[in-house]
A and B are shown apart, each in its own frame.
Chain A
């Protein structure tokens, strides 16, 4: 299962690759990283139809925000699931994300147990 993480912090890649080391090793999941909304859309648009099942995106990013990216993905690739990961866990961001069709909302610091079980659930569905 292909998962795309979108965050402007580059160390996110190392962190997630290490956190999901076992799952990646076993071939259960495949991770890709993009460091802006625009890059994420490029990655998704490279394959037609894209093989990505799930996108996790930060909200506060320079350029396109995570919420704008969410809207764009939901219009262009409605079958892809999107969840938000943000340091701003206020109800305004939460409501906007959920109303735009986000599957979930994770606040930073990320609860990896919850994230892992969410991904495991998706893997089962595949």
Chain B
């Protein structure tokens, strides 16, 4: 009977150890533990020869039967099913032996040899089945490991895939952003290029005019000097002629001398006009000679706006203008070439006066001329705005406004250099000049200056 219990022990021990690969529920492990204790007790009782041995033997069969039942009907032990049939023949033979011996010992004696033979066959069966089972188990285990590996790989692939997808999405948005940035940079480049071309045109024109100006200056000086001299001489001649006795010839001579003198005065007048143009042209091409010093911009604006106003009032065709100054308080001092920059203010203000004069001539008293000068401070920049409510600038001439010799003023009034020089001076301060206008309503010149400039050595 010990054999049956040993089989029980062996089965339970094997099942317990096989739980390494597949985790069994705790209750199953408890069954294994109690089963092994029961088998141990039955072995002990069997060896002790204590009665009633028959009961112990019966219990041994019940135990092994229960174990086989457990193996066959527990889902977790599905893989171990072949294990259940391994000890079956032995248990069957032993059960038969036990039953025969219990019921009729005499039949047992006659059948003993057959039963022994059956036992040996059962043992061989058991060993074969056992080996078979082991082999099967190994295959199952290998397959299980293989499956597990495959699953792991699948999982890894899935994770990699999602990571890649995220990366792709990230890169796509990055590329889109870069594309937008590039587009913006391209637009910026294109507008800068246009500006550069414009500036290049102006620069070459500037050089040309400077050269011409210099060549014209010398002959012009002769024209002016000789005409001036001739006027002086004519006055002397007039004095001498007046000393002569009166005669119709004398009257005629004096009359003619008057005409020649007035002609010479005209030559002198137009000569000096040409001279002022030439001088403006030279000033235009020549770099600023003054130095950049910290300047109170508001004070400069106040002074030169006032100067321009009184200059305008003192000259022919004065107009009534309301001037509003909206100057930002506590404006920091800014490095300026004050001499040059005062020309900017003078030019812009004078320009506005001239424009508004045209509108007054057109509309009469119903129009009230107003000039607004503002200064504003932002983080890195200072903005100056000169705004008039004059006739405005049509779009088609807005681009030409800064070109040298472009003028809207009639006849001999403008040289067409004022705004061009203004623009040059602002550029030399690394600033920007923008023009906004609405025809019939306003014109606004906006100067933007950087607060801090990289000083050129």
Contacts and interface: CB of A to CB of B under 8 A. Distances in A.
Given A11-B222, A15-B222, A109-B224, A87 B229 contact: no
B225 interface: yes
B217 A87 contact: yes
B289 interface: yes
Contacts of B221: 87, 108-110
B218 interface: yes
B284 to A, nearest CB: 15
Contacts of A110: 221, 225
Interface residues of A, number: 13
Interface string A19-41: 10000000000000000000000
Interface string B265-309: 000000000010000000000100100000000000000000000
Contacts of A48: none
B218 A108 contact: yes
Contacts of A18: 229, 233
Interface residues of B, number: 13
Contacts of B14: none
A15 B230 CA distance: 10
B177 interface: no
Interface string B59-95: 0000000000000000000000000000000000000
A15 B232 CA distance: 13
B229 A91 contact: no
B175 to A, nearest CB: 56
Nearest to B228: A112
Given A15-B229, A109-B275, A87 B222 contact: no
B214 interface: yes
A9 B286 CA distance: 25
B226 interface: yes
A9 to B, nearest CB: 7
Interface in A34-91: 87, 90-91
A69 B289 CA distance: 27
A108 B217 CA distance: 8
Contacts of B222: 9, 11, 15
A19 B275 CA distance: 20
A91 B287 CA distance: 12
Interface in B166-224: 214, 217-218, 221-222, 224
Task: From B217, B221, B286, name the one whose CB has the most chain A CB atoms within 10 angstroms.
Answer: B221
B224 A91 contact: no
Contact of A15 (B225, B275, B289): B225
B280 to A, nearest CB: 15
Nearest to B222: A11
Interface in A74-119: 87, 90-91, 108-110, 112
B250 to A, nearest CB: 24
Task: From B222, B224, B289, name the one whose CB has the most chain A CB atoms within 10 angstroms.
Answer: B222
Nearest to B275: A109
B401 to A, nearest CB: 30
Interface string B121-156: 000000000000000000000000000000000000
A11 B221 CA distance: 11
Nearest to B289: A91
A11 B225 CA distance: 11
A87 B224 CA distance: 15
B271 to A, nearest CB: 10
A116 B218 CA distance: 20
A19 B233 CA distance: 10
Contacts of A11: 222, 226
A109 B289 contact: no
Closest 4 A/B residue pairs (Cβ): A109-B221, A18-B229, A15-B225, A87-B217
10 contacts: A9-B218, A9-B222, A11-B226, A14-B226, A18-B229, A87-B214, A90-B289, A109-B221, A109-B225, A110-B221
Interface of A: 9, 11, 14-15, 18-19, 87, 90-91, 108-110, 112
